[in-house]
Protein backbone atom coordinates (compact mmCIF):
# COMPACT_ATOMS: atom_id res chain seq x y z
CA UNK A 1 0.00 0.00 0.00
CA UNK A 2 1.46 3.33 -0.96
CA UNK A 3 0.52 6.84 0.02
CA UNK A 4 -0.10 9.21 -2.84
CA UNK A 5 0.04 12.96 -2.87
CA UNK A 6 -2.90 14.35 -4.82
CA UNK A 7 -2.83 17.87 -6.26
CA UNK A 8 -5.90 19.94 -5.42
CA UNK A 9 -7.23 23.48 -5.50
CA UNK A 10 -8.81 25.37 -2.60
CA UNK A 11 -12.57 25.72 -2.11
CA UNK A 12 -13.57 29.14 -0.84
CA UNK A 13 -16.46 28.04 1.36
CA UNK A 14 -14.85 25.82 3.99
CA UNK A 15 -15.18 28.13 6.98
CA UNK A 16 -16.29 26.12 10.02
CA UNK A 17 -19.47 27.49 11.64
CA UNK A 18 -20.74 27.23 15.21
CA UNK A 19 -19.97 23.53 15.16
CA UNK A 20 -17.74 22.48 12.28
CA UNK A 21 -18.30 22.51 8.54
CA UNK A 22 -21.88 21.79 7.51
CA UNK A 23 -22.93 21.66 3.87
CA UNK A 24 -25.27 19.82 1.56
CA UNK A 25 -24.15 16.24 0.85
CA UNK A 26 -23.76 17.17 -2.82
CA UNK A 27 -21.21 19.82 -1.85
CA UNK A 28 -19.22 17.26 0.15
CA UNK A 29 -19.43 14.82 -2.76
CA UNK A 30 -17.55 17.15 -5.11
CA UNK A 31 -14.14 15.78 -6.03
CA UNK A 32 -11.57 16.65 -3.34
CA UNK A 33 -14.00 18.64 -1.17
CA UNK A 34 -13.94 16.41 1.90
CA UNK A 35 -10.28 15.54 1.29
CA UNK A 36 -9.27 19.22 1.23
CA UNK A 37 -10.97 19.92 4.54
CA UNK A 38 -9.56 16.85 6.26
CA UNK A 39 -6.05 17.66 5.02
CA UNK A 40 -6.50 21.24 6.23
CA UNK A 41 -7.37 19.84 9.67
CA UNK A 42 -4.35 17.54 9.67
CA UNK A 43 -2.11 20.41 8.56
CA UNK A 44 -3.35 22.65 11.40
CA UNK A 45 -3.32 20.54 14.56
CA UNK A 46 0.36 19.95 15.27
CA UNK A 47 2.44 16.80 15.47
CA UNK A 48 0.30 13.69 15.74
CA UNK A 49 2.77 11.17 14.29
CA UNK A 50 2.02 7.75 15.74
CA UNK A 51 -0.89 9.09 17.84
CA UNK A 52 -4.54 8.04 18.07
CA UNK A 53 -7.47 9.59 16.23
CA UNK A 54 -11.12 8.87 17.11
CA UNK A 55 -13.53 8.68 14.19
CA UNK A 56 -17.28 8.23 13.97
CA UNK A 57 -20.47 9.91 12.96
CA UNK A 58 -24.21 10.02 13.40
CA UNK A 59 -24.77 7.45 10.65
CA UNK A 60 -26.35 9.81 8.19
CA UNK A 61 -26.06 9.38 4.42
CA UNK A 62 -22.40 9.62 3.27
CA UNK A 63 -21.09 8.68 6.73
CA UNK A 64 -19.60 5.37 5.59
CA UNK A 65 -17.98 6.74 2.44
CA UNK A 66 -16.49 9.67 4.35
CA UNK A 67 -15.07 7.35 7.01
CA UNK A 68 -13.28 5.23 4.41
CA UNK A 69 -11.71 8.34 2.87
CA UNK A 70 -10.65 9.73 6.25
CA UNK A 71 -9.14 6.41 7.37
CA UNK A 72 -6.93 6.32 4.28
CA UNK A 73 -5.95 9.95 4.77
CA UNK A 74 -5.17 9.41 8.46
CA UNK A 75 -2.91 6.50 7.52
CA UNK A 76 -1.12 8.51 4.82
CA UNK A 77 -0.65 11.44 7.21
CA UNK A 78 1.00 9.40 9.94
CA UNK A 79 -1.56 8.62 12.64
CA UNK A 80 -0.60 5.43 14.50
CA UNK A 81 -4.09 4.28 15.36
CA UNK A 82 -7.71 5.15 14.64
CA UNK A 83 -10.56 4.13 16.93
CA UNK A 84 -13.70 4.00 14.84
CA UNK A 85 -17.19 3.24 16.10
CA UNK A 86 -18.77 0.02 14.88
CA UNK A 87 -20.61 0.67 11.62
CA UNK A 88 -18.93 4.07 11.55
CA UNK A 89 -21.29 5.20 14.31
CA UNK A 90 -20.46 7.30 17.36
CA UNK A 91 -22.79 9.76 19.01
CA UNK A 92 -21.09 13.10 19.60
CA UNK A 93 -20.92 12.69 23.41
CA UNK A 94 -19.69 9.09 23.02
CA UNK A 95 -16.94 10.29 20.67
CA UNK A 96 -15.95 12.93 23.20
CA UNK A 97 -15.75 10.28 25.92
CA UNK A 98 -13.68 7.89 23.79
CA UNK A 99 -11.20 10.67 22.95
CA UNK A 100 -10.75 11.37 26.66
CA UNK A 101 -10.75 7.79 27.87
CA UNK A 102 -8.16 6.63 25.31
CA UNK A 103 -6.10 9.82 25.51
CA UNK A 104 -6.43 10.29 21.77
CA UNK A 105 -4.77 13.20 20.02
CA UNK A 106 -8.22 14.27 18.80
CA UNK A 107 -11.23 13.12 16.86
CA UNK A 108 -13.20 13.74 13.70
CA UNK A 109 -16.97 13.66 14.18
CA UNK A 110 -19.15 13.38 11.11
CA UNK A 111 -22.49 15.01 11.70
CA UNK A 112 -24.75 17.87 10.74
CA UNK A 113 -26.49 17.43 14.07
CA UNK A 114 -30.24 17.99 13.85
CA UNK A 115 -30.21 18.95 10.16
CA UNK A 116 -32.05 16.48 7.90
CA UNK A 117 -30.07 13.70 6.22
CA UNK A 118 -30.11 12.04 2.82
CA UNK A 119 -28.58 12.53 -0.65
CA UNK A 120 -30.14 15.99 -1.00
CA UNK A 121 -29.75 17.02 2.62
CA UNK A 122 -26.88 17.87 4.94
CA UNK A 123 -23.54 16.45 6.01
CA UNK A 124 -20.93 17.83 8.36
CA UNK A 125 -17.53 17.30 9.89
CA UNK A 126 -15.81 18.77 12.90
CA UNK A 127 -12.54 18.30 14.68
CA UNK A 128 -12.40 17.78 18.45
CA UNK A 129 -9.18 18.28 20.39
CA UNK A 130 -7.59 15.98 22.96
CA UNK A 131 -9.80 17.19 25.83
CA UNK A 132 -12.73 15.69 23.89
CA UNK A 133 -14.27 19.05 23.05
CA UNK A 134 -14.85 20.97 19.84
CA UNK A 135 -11.75 22.73 18.56
CA UNK A 136 -11.56 26.28 19.89
CA UNK A 137 -11.71 29.24 17.54
CA UNK A 138 -7.92 29.54 17.28
CA UNK A 139 -7.83 26.04 15.76
CA UNK A 140 -10.87 26.45 13.51
CA UNK A 141 -9.46 29.75 12.23
CA UNK A 142 -6.18 27.99 11.39
CA UNK A 143 -8.08 25.21 9.60
CA UNK A 144 -10.02 27.74 7.57
CA UNK A 145 -6.86 29.63 6.66
CA UNK A 146 -5.30 26.37 5.48
CA UNK A 147 -8.33 25.50 3.31
CA UNK A 148 -7.68 28.71 1.40
CA UNK A 149 -4.15 27.84 0.30
CA UNK A 150 -4.17 24.07 0.21
CA UNK A 151 -2.44 22.57 -2.82
CA UNK A 152 -2.32 18.83 -2.13
CA UNK A 153 -3.55 16.08 0.16
CA UNK A 154 -2.19 12.69 1.15
CA UNK A 155 -4.15 9.46 0.88
CA UNK A 156 -3.31 5.78 0.99
CA UNK A 157 -4.14 3.66 -2.03
CA UNK A 158 -5.98 0.82 -0.29
CA UNK A 159 -9.24 -1.10 -0.31
CA UNK A 160 -12.08 -0.08 2.00
CA UNK A 161 -12.05 -1.91 5.32
CA UNK A 162 -14.99 -3.53 7.06
CA UNK A 163 -16.55 -1.31 9.73
CA UNK A 164 -19.15 -3.79 10.89
CA UNK A 165 -17.19 -6.20 13.04
CA UNK A 166 -15.38 -5.25 16.23
CA UNK A 167 -11.69 -5.93 15.79
CA UNK A 168 -8.44 -4.65 14.35
CA UNK A 169 -7.22 -4.11 10.80
CA UNK A 170 -3.93 -2.78 9.54
CA UNK A 171 -4.05 0.08 7.05
CA UNK A 172 -0.48 0.75 5.91
CA UNK A 173 1.44 1.53 9.09
CA UNK A 174 -1.74 2.51 10.96
CA UNK A 175 -3.94 0.25 13.09
CA UNK A 176 -7.69 0.61 12.78
CA UNK A 177 -9.70 -0.58 15.78
CA UNK A 178 -13.43 -0.92 15.28
CA UNK A 179 -14.88 -0.41 18.77
CA UNK A 180 -18.29 -0.96 20.35
CA UNK A 181 -20.06 2.37 19.89
CA UNK A 182 -22.17 2.12 23.06
CA UNK A 183 -20.25 0.20 25.76
CA UNK A 184 -17.81 2.85 27.04
CA UNK A 185 -20.51 5.50 27.06
CA UNK A 186 -22.97 3.29 28.96
CA UNK A 187 -20.27 2.56 31.57
CA UNK A 188 -19.72 6.28 32.03
CA UNK A 189 -23.45 6.87 32.60
CA UNK A 190 -23.51 4.06 35.19
CA UNK A 191 -20.70 5.80 37.05
CA UNK A 192 -22.63 9.09 37.29
CA UNK A 193 -26.23 8.14 38.05
CA UNK A 194 -28.07 5.94 40.52
CA UNK A 195 -29.19 3.21 38.13
CA UNK A 196 -30.76 1.19 40.98
CA UNK A 197 -32.99 4.10 41.95
CA UNK A 198 -33.99 4.69 38.33
CA UNK A 199 -34.65 0.96 37.88
CA UNK A 200 -36.91 1.02 40.94
CA UNK A 201 -38.73 4.10 39.61
CA UNK A 202 -39.36 2.42 36.26
CA UNK A 203 -40.46 -0.80 37.95
CA UNK A 204 -42.93 1.07 40.14
CA UNK A 205 -45.42 2.19 37.52
CA UNK A 206 -43.63 5.34 36.37
CA UNK A 207 -44.02 5.64 32.60
CA UNK A 208 -41.80 7.27 30.01
CA UNK A 209 -41.23 7.67 26.28
CA UNK A 210 -37.98 8.47 24.51
CA UNK A 211 -37.92 9.56 20.87
CA UNK A 212 -34.62 8.79 19.15
CA UNK A 213 -36.02 10.34 15.95
CA UNK A 214 -34.46 7.56 13.77
CA UNK A 215 -31.04 9.01 14.58
CA UNK A 216 -27.89 8.00 16.41
CA UNK A 217 -29.28 7.81 19.96
CA UNK A 218 -31.46 4.78 19.14
CA UNK A 219 -28.88 2.11 20.03
CA UNK A 220 -27.63 4.05 23.08
CA UNK A 221 -31.12 4.67 24.47
CA UNK A 222 -32.24 1.09 23.83
CA UNK A 223 -29.17 -0.35 25.56
CA UNK A 224 -29.39 1.96 28.57
CA UNK A 225 -33.09 2.64 29.10
CA UNK A 226 -34.61 -0.66 28.02
CA UNK A 227 -31.90 -3.32 28.35
CA UNK A 228 -30.22 -2.01 31.50
CA UNK A 229 -32.75 0.12 33.37
CA UNK A 230 -35.67 -2.14 32.52
CA UNK A 231 -37.98 0.32 30.80
CA UNK A 232 -40.53 -1.69 28.78
CA UNK A 233 -39.72 -2.52 25.17
CA UNK A 234 -41.13 0.24 23.01
CA UNK A 235 -40.14 2.98 25.46
CA UNK A 236 -37.63 4.05 22.82
CA UNK A 237 -39.60 5.32 19.83
CA UNK A 238 -37.98 5.48 16.38
CA UNK A 239 -34.99 3.69 17.84
CA UNK A 240 -33.56 2.25 14.64
CA UNK A 241 -31.01 4.64 13.14
CA UNK A 242 -31.52 5.32 9.45
CA UNK A 243 -29.28 7.01 6.90
CA UNK A 244 -32.01 9.55 6.14
CA UNK A 245 -33.29 9.74 9.73
CA UNK A 246 -36.59 8.40 8.42
CA UNK A 247 -37.01 11.49 6.26
CA UNK A 248 -37.46 13.56 9.41
CA UNK A 249 -35.79 16.54 10.99
CA UNK A 250 -34.21 15.18 14.18
CA UNK A 251 -34.28 18.38 16.16
CA UNK A 252 -35.74 17.75 19.61
CA UNK A 253 -38.08 20.69 19.98
CA UNK A 254 -41.83 21.18 20.10
CA UNK A 255 -42.06 21.59 16.32
CA UNK A 256 -39.93 18.78 14.97
CA UNK A 257 -40.41 16.21 17.75
CA UNK A 258 -44.17 16.42 17.28
CA UNK A 259 -44.62 12.65 17.47
CA UNK A 260 -43.33 12.65 21.06
CA UNK A 261 -45.17 15.87 21.86
CA UNK A 262 -48.47 14.28 20.78
CA UNK A 263 -47.76 11.32 23.09
CA UNK A 264 -46.86 13.57 26.02
CA UNK A 265 -49.90 15.80 25.58
CA UNK A 266 -52.26 12.80 25.43
CA UNK A 267 -53.13 13.25 21.76
CA UNK A 268 -52.63 9.57 20.90
CA UNK A 269 -54.45 6.44 22.00
CA UNK A 270 -51.97 5.82 24.83
CA UNK A 271 -52.22 7.62 28.17
CA UNK A 272 -49.65 10.42 28.42
CA UNK A 273 -46.53 9.09 30.19
CA UNK A 274 -45.00 10.73 33.27
CA UNK A 275 -41.81 11.66 31.46
CA UNK A 276 -40.77 12.15 27.85
CA UNK A 277 -37.55 13.06 26.12
CA UNK A 278 -36.05 13.26 22.66
CA UNK A 279 -32.57 13.57 21.27
CA UNK A 280 -31.17 14.82 17.99
CA UNK A 281 -29.25 13.49 14.99
CA UNK A 282 -25.92 13.07 16.77
CA UNK A 283 -27.19 12.58 20.32
CA UNK A 284 -25.98 15.76 21.97
CA UNK A 285 -29.27 17.67 22.23
CA UNK A 286 -32.23 16.84 24.43
CA UNK A 287 -35.78 17.93 25.05
CA UNK A 288 -37.47 17.08 28.34
CA UNK A 289 -41.22 16.92 28.89
CA UNK A 290 -43.55 15.95 31.69
CA UNK A 291 -47.13 14.79 31.28
CA UNK A 292 -48.56 17.71 29.26
CA UNK A 293 -45.65 19.90 30.35
CA UNK A 294 -42.64 21.31 28.43
CA UNK A 295 -39.40 22.12 30.25
CA UNK A 296 -37.39 24.85 28.51
CA UNK A 297 -33.71 23.98 28.07
CA UNK A 298 -32.80 27.05 30.13
CA UNK A 299 -35.00 25.88 33.01
CA UNK A 300 -33.68 22.35 32.63
CA UNK A 301 -30.12 23.55 33.25
CA UNK A 302 -31.22 25.53 36.30
CA UNK A 303 -33.21 22.63 37.74
CA UNK A 304 -30.43 20.11 37.15
CA UNK A 305 -28.03 22.49 38.93
CA UNK A 306 -30.39 23.03 41.86
CA UNK A 307 -30.91 19.25 42.22
CA UNK A 308 -27.39 18.12 41.34
CA UNK A 309 -26.95 16.34 44.65
CA UNK A 310 -29.60 13.78 43.62
CA UNK A 311 -27.04 12.14 41.31
CA UNK A 312 -24.10 10.25 42.85
CA UNK A 313 -21.62 11.64 40.31
CA UNK A 314 -22.35 15.18 41.49
CA UNK A 315 -22.82 14.68 45.22
CA UNK A 316 -19.37 16.05 46.00
CA UNK A 317 -20.63 19.46 44.85
CA UNK A 318 -20.39 21.29 41.57
CA UNK A 319 -17.71 23.81 40.69
CA UNK A 320 -19.71 26.38 38.77
CA UNK A 321 -22.21 26.81 35.96
CA UNK A 322 -21.85 28.20 32.44
CA UNK A 323 -24.52 29.11 29.95
CA UNK A 324 -24.43 30.58 26.48
CA UNK A 325 -25.36 34.24 26.31
CA UNK A 326 -28.83 33.77 24.73
CA UNK A 327 -29.75 31.12 27.32
CA UNK A 328 -32.06 32.50 30.01
CA UNK A 329 -30.58 33.65 33.31
CA UNK A 330 -32.51 31.02 35.31
CA UNK A 331 -29.25 29.19 36.05
CA UNK A 332 -27.63 32.42 37.27
CA UNK A 333 -30.16 32.59 40.10
CA UNK A 334 -29.41 29.03 41.14
CA UNK A 335 -25.67 29.68 40.99
CA UNK A 336 -26.10 32.74 43.17
CA UNK A 337 -28.15 30.84 45.73
CA UNK A 338 -25.55 28.05 45.79
CA UNK A 339 -22.65 30.49 46.05
CA UNK A 340 -21.27 29.38 42.68
CA UNK A 341 -19.78 31.34 39.84
CA UNK A 342 -21.87 31.53 36.66
CA UNK A 343 -20.23 32.24 33.29
CA UNK A 344 -21.91 33.69 30.20
CA UNK A 345 -20.24 32.54 26.97
CA UNK A 346 -20.99 32.97 23.26
CA UNK A 347 -23.15 30.36 21.53
CA UNK A 348 -21.17 27.19 20.80
CA UNK A 349 -20.19 24.37 23.11
CA UNK A 350 -16.53 25.01 22.27
CA UNK A 351 -16.57 28.03 24.58
CA UNK A 352 -17.21 25.81 27.65
CA UNK A 353 -14.08 23.68 27.14
CA UNK A 354 -11.55 25.98 28.78
CA UNK A 355 -13.83 26.61 31.75
CA UNK A 356 -14.30 22.89 32.33
CA UNK A 357 -10.61 22.08 31.82
CA UNK A 358 -9.71 24.78 34.35
CA UNK A 359 -12.14 23.30 36.87
CA UNK A 360 -14.23 26.47 36.92
CA UNK A 361 -17.51 24.84 35.89
CA UNK A 362 -19.18 21.46 36.16
CA UNK A 363 -22.54 22.09 34.47
CA UNK A 364 -23.16 23.87 31.17
CA UNK A 365 -26.23 24.54 29.12
CA UNK A 366 -27.62 26.26 26.09
CA UNK A 367 -31.10 27.33 25.07
CA UNK A 368 -30.59 25.30 21.87
CA UNK A 369 -31.55 22.12 23.75
CA UNK A 370 -28.04 21.42 24.98
CA UNK A 371 -27.13 20.42 28.52
CA UNK A 372 -24.03 18.71 29.79
CA UNK A 373 -21.26 18.51 32.31
CA UNK A 374 -17.54 18.02 32.61
CA UNK A 375 -17.95 14.22 32.28
CA UNK A 376 -17.28 14.87 28.56
CA UNK A 377 -16.62 18.04 26.57
CA UNK A 378 -19.79 17.99 24.48
CA UNK A 379 -23.39 18.49 25.39
CA UNK A 380 -25.02 15.16 26.07
CA UNK A 381 -28.66 14.31 25.35
CA UNK A 382 -28.97 10.98 27.15
CA UNK A 383 -26.98 12.29 30.10
CA UNK A 384 -29.63 14.99 30.59
CA UNK A 385 -32.41 12.42 30.34
CA UNK A 386 -30.72 10.20 32.93
CA UNK A 387 -30.13 13.21 35.19
CA UNK A 388 -33.84 13.99 35.08
CA UNK A 389 -34.74 10.37 35.74
CA UNK A 390 -32.36 10.37 38.71
CA UNK A 391 -33.96 13.56 40.08
CA UNK A 392 -37.46 12.11 39.57
CA UNK A 393 -36.42 8.88 41.30
CA UNK A 394 -35.14 10.77 44.33
CA UNK A 395 -37.81 13.48 44.57
CA UNK A 396 -40.72 11.16 43.77
CA UNK A 397 -42.67 14.05 42.31
CA UNK A 398 -43.93 14.97 38.86
CA UNK A 399 -41.94 16.99 36.31
CA UNK A 400 -44.54 19.78 36.45
CA UNK A 401 -44.39 20.00 40.25
CA UNK A 402 -40.60 20.06 40.29
CA UNK A 403 -40.51 22.87 37.74
CA UNK A 404 -43.26 25.00 39.26
CA UNK A 405 -41.76 24.61 42.70
CA UNK A 406 -38.45 25.76 41.24
CA UNK A 407 -40.15 28.88 39.87
CA UNK A 408 -41.76 29.55 43.25
CA UNK A 409 -38.33 29.55 44.84
CA UNK A 410 -36.30 31.35 42.16
CA UNK A 411 -38.88 33.20 40.04
CA UNK A 412 -39.72 32.32 36.44
CA UNK A 413 -37.66 33.40 33.46
CA UNK A 414 -40.22 33.45 30.66
CA UNK A 415 -38.29 32.54 27.57
CA UNK A 416 -38.74 31.89 23.88
CA UNK A 417 -36.71 31.74 20.68
CA UNK A 418 -38.19 32.67 17.31
CA UNK A 419 -36.30 31.36 14.27
CA UNK A 420 -36.67 32.77 10.80
CA UNK A 421 -35.01 30.14 8.60
CA UNK A 422 -33.74 30.40 5.03
CA UNK A 423 -33.80 34.21 4.93
CA UNK A 424 -31.79 36.09 2.31
CA UNK A 425 -28.35 36.65 3.86
CA UNK A 426 -28.17 40.35 3.04
CA UNK A 427 -31.64 40.96 4.52
CA UNK A 428 -30.67 39.06 7.67
CA UNK A 429 -27.59 41.24 8.06
CA UNK A 430 -29.76 44.34 7.65
CA UNK A 431 -32.05 43.23 10.49
CA UNK A 432 -29.12 43.16 12.92
CA UNK A 433 -27.71 46.40 11.54
CA UNK A 434 -31.07 48.12 12.00
CA UNK A 435 -30.87 47.40 15.71
CA UNK A 436 -27.18 48.31 15.91
CA UNK A 437 -28.03 51.69 14.38
CA UNK A 438 -30.18 52.40 17.47
CA UNK A 439 -27.56 51.47 20.07
CA UNK A 440 -27.21 55.07 21.17
CA UNK A 441 -30.89 56.03 21.02
CA UNK A 442 -32.62 53.02 22.62
CA UNK A 443 -31.13 53.22 26.14
CA UNK A 444 -33.42 55.32 28.33
CA UNK A 445 -36.47 54.58 26.15
CA UNK A 446 -39.37 52.43 27.31
CA UNK A 447 -40.15 49.37 25.19
CA UNK A 448 -42.80 46.78 26.04
CA UNK A 449 -43.43 48.66 29.29
CA UNK A 450 -39.80 48.30 30.37
CA UNK A 451 -36.84 50.64 30.48
CA UNK A 452 -33.97 49.85 28.08
CA UNK A 453 -30.76 50.03 30.10
CA UNK A 454 -28.12 49.16 27.47
CA UNK A 455 -27.51 47.78 23.97
CA UNK A 456 -24.42 46.06 22.66
CA UNK A 457 -22.81 43.49 20.41
CA UNK A 458 -21.94 40.68 22.82
CA UNK A 459 -18.22 40.12 23.20
CA UNK A 460 -16.53 37.48 25.35
CA UNK A 461 -13.06 37.43 26.83
CA UNK A 462 -12.18 33.86 27.78
CA UNK A 463 -11.10 34.02 31.45
CA UNK A 464 -8.69 31.13 30.94
CA UNK A 465 -6.73 31.97 27.80
CA UNK A 466 -7.72 35.61 27.35
CA UNK A 467 -8.93 35.15 23.75
CA UNK A 468 -11.66 37.56 22.71
CA UNK A 469 -14.68 36.64 20.58
CA UNK A 470 -16.62 39.62 19.25
CA UNK A 471 -19.93 40.12 17.44
CA UNK A 472 -21.64 37.23 19.20
CA UNK A 473 -25.17 38.66 19.17
CA UNK A 474 -26.97 42.00 19.26
CA UNK A 475 -28.46 42.63 22.70
CA UNK A 476 -31.14 44.99 23.97
CA UNK A 477 -30.98 44.81 27.74
CA UNK A 478 -33.67 46.06 30.09
CA UNK A 479 -33.44 47.43 33.59
CA UNK A 480 -35.53 44.56 35.02
CA UNK A 481 -33.26 41.87 33.53
CA UNK A 482 -35.45 41.24 30.47
CA UNK A 483 -33.59 40.84 27.18
CA UNK A 484 -34.17 40.91 23.43
CA UNK A 485 -31.34 39.35 21.44
CA UNK A 486 -30.77 38.97 17.71
CA UNK A 487 -28.22 36.53 16.30
CA UNK A 488 -27.51 34.80 13.02
CA UNK A 489 -27.24 31.04 13.28
CA UNK A 490 -23.87 29.49 12.51
CA UNK A 491 -25.19 26.02 11.72
CA UNK A 492 -27.56 26.42 8.75
CA UNK A 493 -26.71 25.32 5.23
CA UNK A 494 -29.03 27.46 3.08
CA UNK A 495 -29.51 31.21 3.35
CA UNK A 496 -29.42 32.75 6.80
CA UNK A 497 -31.37 31.90 9.93
CA UNK A 498 -32.24 34.84 12.17
CA UNK A 499 -32.67 33.87 15.80
CA UNK A 500 -34.68 36.21 18.01
CA UNK A 501 -34.35 35.36 21.71
CA UNK A 502 -36.78 36.82 24.24
CA UNK A 503 -36.58 36.71 28.00
CA UNK A 504 -38.59 38.30 30.76
CA UNK A 505 -38.23 37.63 34.48
CA UNK A 506 -41.30 37.24 36.69
CA UNK A 507 -40.87 36.99 40.44
CA UNK A 508 -44.60 37.04 41.27
CA UNK A 509 -45.77 33.46 41.76
CA UNK A 510 -49.35 34.45 40.86
CA UNK A 511 -48.11 35.21 37.35
CA UNK A 512 -46.20 31.97 36.75
CA UNK A 513 -48.87 30.04 34.90
CA UNK A 514 -48.99 32.00 31.65
CA UNK A 515 -48.16 30.64 28.23
CA UNK A 516 -44.68 31.94 27.37
CA UNK A 517 -45.84 33.49 24.08
CA UNK A 518 -48.56 35.41 25.92
CA UNK A 519 -46.19 36.49 28.69
CA UNK A 520 -43.70 37.71 26.08
CA UNK A 521 -46.22 39.19 23.63
CA UNK A 522 -45.24 42.84 24.21
CA UNK A 523 -41.55 41.96 23.94
CA UNK A 524 -42.17 40.13 20.66
CA UNK A 525 -43.96 43.15 19.19
CA UNK A 526 -41.21 45.49 20.39
CA UNK A 527 -38.50 43.27 18.93
CA UNK A 528 -40.18 43.24 15.54
CA UNK A 529 -40.63 47.01 15.62
CA UNK A 530 -37.06 47.95 16.47
CA UNK A 531 -35.53 45.49 14.01
CA UNK A 532 -38.08 45.68 11.18
CA UNK A 533 -37.49 41.94 11.15
CA UNK A 534 -40.64 40.91 9.40
CA UNK A 535 -40.55 43.69 6.82
CA UNK A 536 -36.88 43.15 5.96
CA UNK A 537 -37.07 39.35 5.90
CA UNK A 538 -40.36 39.28 4.01
CA UNK A 539 -41.77 36.86 6.59
CA UNK A 540 -44.86 37.45 8.66
CA UNK A 541 -44.10 34.75 11.22
CA UNK A 542 -41.21 32.65 12.51
CA UNK A 543 -40.45 29.26 10.96
CA UNK A 544 -39.97 27.67 14.36
CA UNK A 545 -40.84 28.84 17.87
CA UNK A 546 -39.20 27.13 20.81
C1 LIG B 1 -24.45 23.61 17.73
C2 LIG B 1 -23.49 24.04 18.81
C3 LIG B 1 -24.25 24.66 19.94
C4 LIG B 1 -25.13 25.78 19.44
C5 LIG B 1 -26.04 25.26 18.36
C6 LIG B 1 -26.86 26.35 17.70
O7 LIG B 1 -25.23 22.57 18.21
O8 LIG B 1 -22.75 22.95 19.29
O9 LIG B 1 -23.32 25.11 20.88
O10 LIG B 1 -25.88 26.32 20.48
O11 LIG B 1 -25.27 24.67 17.34
O12 LIG B 1 -25.99 27.21 17.05
P13 LIG B 1 -26.52 28.32 16.08
O14 LIG B 1 -27.47 29.16 16.89
O15 LIG B 1 -25.31 29.06 15.64
O16 LIG B 1 -27.26 27.64 14.95
P17 LIG B 1 -25.46 21.28 17.33
O18 LIG B 1 -26.35 20.42 18.18
O19 LIG B 1 -26.12 21.76 16.07
O20 LIG B 1 -24.11 20.72 17.11
What DSSP state is assigned to residue 222?
I
Mean pLDDT of the chain: 96
Distances (CA, A) of 535 to 24, 33, 427, 437, 483: 29, 37, 10, 17, 22
425 & 334 share domain = no
pLDDT, residue 520, reads 96
310 & 449 share domain = no
How far does Cα 394 stand from its chain's mean position? 27
Residues of the chain with pLDDT under 50: none
Distances (CA, A) of 233 to 208, 225, 280: 11, 9, 21
Q: For ligand 1, say whether the CB of 380 is within 6 Å of any of its atoms.
A: no
Burial class of 162 by CB neighbour count within 10 A (0 to 12, 13 to 18, 19+): exposed
314 & 402 share domain = yes
The number of the ligand 1 atom at minimal distance from the alpha carbon of 282 is 18
- Rounded-to-integer distance, Cα 501 and Cα 269, Å: 35
Q: For ligand 1, say whether the CB of 349 is within 6 Å of any of its atoms.
A: yes
- Rounded-to-integer distance, Cα 6 and Cα 125, Å: 21
Distance 112 CA to ligand 1 centre (A): 10
Distance 499 CA to ligand 1 centre (A): 12
pLDDT, residue 460, reads 97
pLDDT, residue 476, reads 97
- Rounded-to-integer distance, Cα 188 and Cα 94, Å: 9
259 & 339 share domain = yes
Q: Which of 15, 18, 215 to mutate to test the pocket of ligand 1 (most atoms within 8 A of CB)?
A: 18
Query: Is the distance from CB of 384 to CB of 300 less than 8 angstroms?
Result: yes
Last residue of a domain, one of 355, 375, 410: 410
Give the torsion through C-alpha atoms of 107, 113, 115, 117, to 10 deg: 60
Any residues with CB less than 8 A from the CB of 203 and at least 6 apart, and which? 230
Any residues with CB less than 8 A from the CB of 455 and at least 6 apart, and which? 435, 438, 439, 442, 443, 474, 475, 476, 477
81 & 35 share domain = yes
Give the residue whose CA is nearest to atom 4 of ligand 1: 348
457 & 476 share domain = yes
Q: Which of 284, 349, 353, 500 to mutate to test the pocket of ligand 1 (most atoms within 8 A of CB)?
A: 349
pLDDT, residue 321, reads 98
272 & 323 share domain = yes
pLDDT, residue 2, reads 80
- CATH of residue 450's domain is 3.30.310.50
- CATH of residue 30's domain is 3.40.120.10
Which residues face 134 on adjacent strands?
Answer: 128
Range of the domain at 43: 2-181
The number of the ligand 1 atom at minimal distance from the alpha carbon of 492 is 16
Distance 491 CA to ligand 1 centre (A): 6
131 & 22 share domain = yes
Give the residue whose CA is nearest to atom 1 of ligand 1: 19
Q: For ligand 1, say whether the CB of 544 is within 6 Å of any of its atoms.
A: no
E-strand stretches of 30-121: 52-57, 81-89, 106-110
246 & 106 share domain = no
Question: How many structural domains comprise the chain?
Answer: 3
Q: How many CB atoms lie within 10 A of CB 131?
A: 18
120 & 265 share domain = no
Distance 284 CA to ligand 1 centre (A): 10
- Rounded-to-integer distance, Cα 345 and Cα 502, Å: 17
pLDDT, residue 386, reads 98
Distance 512 CA to ligand 1 centre (A): 29
Any residues with CB less than 8 A from the CB of 426 and at least 6 apart, and which? none
Inter-axis angle of helices 183-192 and 381-395, nearest 10? 30
Last residue of a domain, one of 148, 181, 214: 181
494: annotated active-site residue? no
Sheet holding 474-478, edge to edge: 446-447, 450-457, 474-478, 483-488, 496-506, 412-423, 544-545
138 & 97 share domain = yes
Query: Is the distance from CB of 269 to CB of 242 less than 8 angstroms?
Result: no
H helical segments located in 358-476: 381-395, 399-410, 425-436
Q: Choose among 242, 253, 246: nearest CA to 280.
A: 253
- Rounded-to-integer distance, Cα 124 and Cα 112, Å: 5
Query: Is the distance from CB of 321 to CB of 342 less than 8 angstroms?
Result: yes
pLDDT, residue 494, reads 79
- Rounded-to-integer distance, Cα 478 and Cα 528, Å: 16
Last residue of a domain, one of 410, 427, 461: 410
363 & 440 share domain = no
Find the catalytic residue in 19, 44, 91, 113. 113
Amino acid sequence: MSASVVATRPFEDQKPGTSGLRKKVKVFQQANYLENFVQAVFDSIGDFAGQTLVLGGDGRFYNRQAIQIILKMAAANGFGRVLVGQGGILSTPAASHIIRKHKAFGGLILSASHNPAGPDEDFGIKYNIGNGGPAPEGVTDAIFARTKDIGEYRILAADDISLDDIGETQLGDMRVEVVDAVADYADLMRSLFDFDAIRALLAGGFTMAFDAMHAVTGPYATAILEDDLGAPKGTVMNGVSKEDFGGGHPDPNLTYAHELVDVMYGKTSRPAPDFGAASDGDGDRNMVLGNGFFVTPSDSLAIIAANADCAPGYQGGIAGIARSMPTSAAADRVAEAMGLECFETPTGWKFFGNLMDAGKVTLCGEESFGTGSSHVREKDGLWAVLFWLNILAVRKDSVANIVTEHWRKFGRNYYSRHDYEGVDSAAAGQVLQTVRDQFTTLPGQRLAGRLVSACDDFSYADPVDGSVSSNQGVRVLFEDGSRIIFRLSGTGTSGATIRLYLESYEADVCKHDMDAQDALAEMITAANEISKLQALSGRDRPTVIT
